[in-house]
A and B are shown apart, each in its own frame.
Chain A
């Protein structure tokens, strides 16, 4: 079945640093890919998505490009803020509707 692997955390950065959180996947076909974020005390929110190869999803300064050659969907942001501190999950659907999640990467941004 489909699966996703993302880098272990926690990731600790200073404000305005560049962020990369790696995510690789194995899948049958070319499913949509997602990044979800969970801010402290809140539920999971869809951060961005890409629905086909070479698509770039973007939101709130975050970007991720669907790369089928490397089966990757790395999350990047050029300049992180303290408010970006959260747990980030890479995800994709299986052959139907279930979401398959990575283990989550906690990001801590220090002022």
Chain B
């Protein structure tokens, strides 16, 4: 069974440009999460989808970040315009359990996308 995949693995862009990150969760997982790790600090939650609906986007840093999950399958995270402080590693995770809870809530993580904003 394929795990969570993310694309691209690395992205280097200039300040003010736009970048779109993609995450493909494990097939059949309704829950999809975005996290990011900035400057070697802790990994922080960004948002949570249940199928195509945003369950919680309280961790999104500002309105330059837009996440979508059309059709409840893959998700994209767009940063527009990118700023220097957006540099970091963006992780995606998915889990099976209902609404993110319960015994099947183990979150499986992708390899991350390393974003560098110059």
Contacts and interface: CB of A to CB of B under 8 A. Distances in A.
A91 B35 CA distance: 13
Interface string B35-47: 1010011111100
Contact of B43 (A41, A42, A97, A101): A101
Given A43-B4, A103-B41, A103-B42, A97 B110 contact: no
Nearest to A93: B105
B100 A97 contact: yes
A3 to B, nearest CB: 9
A104 B112 CA distance: 15
Interface in B36-85: 37, 40-45, 48, 56, 59
A46 interface: yes
Given A43-B6, A101-B43, 17 more contacts: A36-B109, A43-B91, A43-B110, A43-B111, A46-B106, A46-B107, A89-B42, A96-B101, A98-B45, A98-B59, A99-B107, A101-B42, A102-B42, A103-B40, A103-B41, A104-B40, A104-B43
26 contacts: A43-B3, A43-B4, A43-B91, A43-B110, A43-B111, A44-B43, A44-B112, A46-B106, A46-B107, A91-B43, A96-B100, A96-B101, A97-B31, A97-B99, A98-B33, A98-B45, A98-B48, A99-B43, A99-B107, A100-B45, A101-B42, A101-B44, A103-B40, A103-B41, A104-B37, A104-B42
